[in-house]
Amino acid sequence: MIRLLLAALLFASPALAQRSGYDDASVQTRAMQDDDSANPGFLWVRHGEELWSQPTGTAGKSCANCHNAPDTLRNVAARYPAWDATLARPITLVQRINRCRESHQGTTALAPDNDIMLALSALVGLQSRGTKIVVANDGPLAPFLADGARLFRQRQGQLNLSCANCHDDRAGQRLGGSIIPEGHANGYPQYRLEWQGLGSFNRRLRSCLIGVRAEPYGPASAEAVAIELYLMQRAGGLTVETPSVRP
Residue 66 — left, alpha, or beta (φ > 0 → left; ψ -120 to 50 → alpha)? alpha
Q: Is the pLDDT score of 4 beyond 80?
A: no
Residue 138: pLDDT band with limits 50, 70, 90: confident
Is 208 considered catalytic here? yes
Q: Rounded distance, CA 90 to CA 222, Å?
A: 9
Residues 36-40: contacts with CB under 8 Å, at least 24 apart: 39/191, 39/243, 39/245, 40/191, 40/198, 40/245
Contact between 128 and 77 under an 8 Å Cβ cutoff? The reply is yes
Buried b (16+ CB within 10 A) or exposed e, 232-247: bbbbbebbbbbbbbbe
Q: Catalytic one among 63, 163, 166, 208?
A: 208
More confident residue, 202 or 8: 202
pLDDT digits (tens, 9 = 90+) for 72-104: 999 999 999 999 999 999 999 999 999 999 999
How does residue 136 score in pLDDT terms, banded at 50, 70 and 90?
Answer: confident
Alpha-carbon distances, residue 221 vs 59, 90, 185, 226 (angstroms): 28, 11, 17, 9
Is the pLDDT at 63 greater than 90, yes or no?
Answer: yes
Q: Which domain holds residue 45?
A: 2-246
What total number of domains does the chain contain?
Answer: 1
How many other C-beta atoms can be found within 10 angstroms of the C-beta atom of residue 221? 12
User: In which band, very low, low, confident or very high, does the pLDDT at 137 lie, cut at 50, 70 and 90?
Assistant: confident
CATH number of the domain where residue 108 is located: 1.10.760.10
Largest Cα separation within the chain, whole Å, is 52
Per-residue pLDDT, averaged over 127-138, amounts to 94
**Four-residue CA torsion sign, 201, 80, 51, 45:** negative
User: Is the pTM here over 0.75, yes or no?
Assistant: yes
Round to whole Å and give the CA distance between 220 and 169. Answer: 28
